[in-house]
């Protein structure tokens, strides 16, 4: 492991002082070499990239997706239609929108399928009530729409109960004239911990998933593909459960402080936020310009770690301020000093930025847009008079 978070030695992402001096803070930095290393590591974990469907919601960036494509990753998972668009613009041709279709998103998703016949595109459904409207919209637009049955492994966020309800839903899709059953989807984001801890928690839902697949196949209902697991569970999922065809982690591409604490060996921290000291309100406190609008706070405290200062204590934040208690060894901090802040949750932090600076071997080499960050444009729907 790179020891980035644990070391007391500063290990800045940037080492060219003239460049550091010019970066307006807060700014998002992505280390391209570390991303490449994470892709190499992922290859060594999954063996065959056909079994990986990386979630692009972590980076929302076509340039990062192009790196994944160039490495031989051909599949993608998305959470929004702008992410689906980004994947296709970047050259991807196989994307699952891991989201239920309600309201205007139903028509938009079916329109996307009609306009991109070259792309294997599917969405999720977890409710029998949704089947009729999706089938009707697909009929209206003259397409056969691909659906995965989303099952609930106990996370209780989305998903139909494993067992008879999921089997009936799968059969209803299989029987519908304008729908195609692509398979089953199970996201187990409530499972956290190292390999053995996750493995233990996965036994019951994965056994139920296996039974569901064999029951469906025995009843003549094809299950072509089974997708499960994010970053914590992908390794046990792919190595220990035969029922799994593809795993769909997202965070692995950049990694973050939360996962690094759980599984420090797995990937490198490839992203941080450059921040500066804007105040020293007390001898043991520094305030950085990386408030909740610069580094997400959805994890609660601590919402980040400071590179090179493993003992620093995150005291709290407001919109543009982060208050940090300095360890006794680091009280010499001055106004304007630069720090590299590693978010506890990288996905929600990336979504706060329009652009990221790309760093290679300590130097800024490029600037990439976080181009799938946007929502569908309301102006194109409503013009000037909503």
Ligand X SMILES: Cc1ncc(COP(=O)(O)O)c(C=O)c1O
CB of 59 to ligand X, least distance (A): 11
Q: What is the dihedral of CA 90, 64, 187, 269, to 10 degrees?
A: 180
| Contact yes or no for 261/254 (Cβ under 8 A) | no
In three-state secondary structure terms, 286 is: strand
CB of 229 to ligand X, least distance (A): 7
* Distance of alpha carbon 190 from alpha carbon 197, whole angstroms: 12
Do the strands 120-125 and 304-306 form a parallel or antiparallel pair, or are they unpaired?
unpaired
What DSSP character marks residue 375?
P
* Binding characters for ligand X, 204-233, by CB under 6 A (x = yes): --------------------------xx--
Of 271 and 277, which has the nearer Cβ to ligand X?
271
Do the strands 271-282 and 27-31 form a parallel or antiparallel pair, or are they unpaired?
antiparallel
By CB under 6 A, tell whether 55 contacts ligand X.
yes
Within 2-31, the residues that bind ligand X by CB under 6 A are none
Of 54 and 275, which has the nearer Cβ to ligand X?
54
Give the binding range for ligand X (CB under 6 A) out of 67-75, 248-256, 304-312, 358-366: 248-256
CB of 256 to ligand X, least distance (A): 9
| Contact yes or no for 74/94 (Cβ under 8 A) | yes
Phi-psi region at 308: left, alpha or beta (left = phi > 0; alpha = psi -120 to 50): left
Token representation of residue 14: 């940037």
* Distance of alpha carbon 14 from alpha carbon 113, whole angstroms: 42
By CB under 6 A, tell whether 153 contacts ligand X.
no
In three-state secondary structure terms, 380 is: helix
* Count of residues of this chain found to bind ligand X when the rule CB under 6 A is applied: 13
> Which one of residues 25, 58, 62, 287 is an interface residue with ligand X (CB under 6 A)?
58
| Contact yes or no for 323/35 (Cβ under 8 A) | no
Q: 32-46 vs 62-70: helix axis angle to the nearest 10?
A: 50
CB of 382 to ligand X, least distance (A): 29
> Which one of residues 92, 249, 275, 291 is an interface residue with ligand X (CB under 6 A)?
249
Of 267 and 339, which has the nearer Cβ to ligand X?
267
Of 84 and 288, which has the nearer Cβ to ligand X?
84
Within 90-129, the residues that bind ligand X by CB under 6 A are 98
Residue among 176, 182, 177, 119 nearest 149 (CA): 182
> Which one of residues 104, 161, 189, 336 is an interface residue with ligand X (CB under 6 A)?
189
Of 323 and 345, which has the nearer Cβ to ligand X?
345
Within 280-299, the residues that bind ligand X by CB under 6 A are none
Rg (CA), the chain: 22
* Binding characters for ligand X, 348-377, by CB under 6 A (x = yes): ------------------------------
Of 158 and 338, which has the nearer Cβ to ligand X?
158
| Contact yes or no for 188/247 (Cβ under 8 A) | no
* Binding characters for ligand X, 320-339, by CB under 6 A (x = yes): --------------------
Residues contacting residue 142 through CB under 8 Å, at least 6 positions apart: 114
According to DSSP, the residues that pair with 152 across neighbouring strands are: 161
Q: Where are the beta strands (DSSP E) in 111-248?
A: 120-125, 145-152, 160-161, 179-186, 225-228, 246-247
Residues contacting residue 56 through CB under 8 Å, at least 6 positions apart: 65, 76, 77, 78, 83, 86, 87, 250, 372
Q: Measured at CB, which residue is nearest to ligand X?
A: 230
CB of 77 to ligand X, least distance (A): 6
CB of 377 to ligand X, least distance (A): 24
In three-state secondary structure terms, 135 is: helix
Of 126 and 137, which has the nearer Cβ to ligand X?
126
> Which one of residues 25, 251, 303, 348 is an interface residue with ligand X (CB under 6 A)?
251
Within 63-92, the residues that bind ligand X by CB under 6 A are 77
> Which one of residues 13, 45, 187, 340 is an interface residue with ligand X (CB under 6 A)?
187
Residues in contact with ligand X by CB under 6 A are 55, 58, 77, 98, 187, 189, 230-231, 248-251, 347
């Amino acid at each position: 492991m790179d020891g980035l978070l644990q070391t007391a030695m500063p290990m800045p992402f940037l080492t060219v002082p003239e460049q550091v001096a010019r970066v307006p803070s807060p700014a998002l930095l992505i280390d391209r070499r570390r991303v490449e290393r994470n892709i190499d590591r992922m290859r060594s974990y999954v063996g065959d990239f056909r079994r990986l469907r990386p979630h692009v919601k972590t980076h929302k960036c076509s340039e990062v997706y192009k790196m994944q494509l160039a490495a031989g990753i051909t599949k993608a998972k998305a959470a929004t239609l702008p992410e689906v668009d980004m994947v296709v613009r970047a050259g991807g041709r196989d994307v699952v929108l891991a989201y239920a279709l309600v309201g205007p998103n139903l028509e938009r998703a079916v329109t996307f399928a009609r306009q991109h016949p070259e792309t294997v595109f599917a969405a999720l459904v977890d409710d029998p009530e949704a089947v009729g409207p999706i089938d009707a919209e697909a009929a209206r637009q003259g397409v056969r729409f691909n659906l995965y049955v989303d099952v609930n492994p106990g996370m209780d966020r989305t998903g139909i109960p494993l067992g008879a309800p999921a089997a009936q839903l799968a059969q209803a899709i299989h029987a519908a004239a304008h729908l195609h059953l692509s398979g089953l989807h199970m996201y187990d984001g409530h499972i956290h911990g190292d390999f053995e801890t996750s493995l233990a928690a996965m036994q019951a839902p994965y056994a139920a998933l296996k039974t569901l697949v064999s029951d469906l196949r025995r009843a003549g209902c094809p299950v072509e593909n089974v997708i499960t697991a994010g970053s914590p569970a992908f390794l046990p999922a792919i190595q220990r459960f035969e029922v799994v065809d593809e795993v769909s982690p997202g965070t692995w591409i950049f990694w973050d402080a939360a996962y690094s604490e759980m599984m420090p060996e797995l990937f490198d921290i490839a992203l941080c936020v450059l921040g500066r000291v804007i105040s020293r309100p007390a001898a043991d406190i520094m305030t950085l310009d990386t408030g909740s609008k610069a580094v997400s706070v959805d994890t609660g405290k601590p919402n980040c770690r400071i590179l090179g200062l493993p003992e620093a204590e995150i005291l709290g934040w407001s919109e543009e301020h982060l208050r940090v208690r300095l360890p006794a060894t680091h009280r010499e901090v001055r106004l304007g000093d630069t720090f590299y802040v590693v978010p506890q949750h990288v996905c929600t932090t990336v979504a706060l930025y329009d652009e990221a600076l790309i760093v290679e071997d300590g130097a800024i080499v490029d600037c990439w847009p976080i181009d799938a960050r946007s929502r569908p444009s309301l102006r194109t729907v409503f013009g000037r008079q909503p």
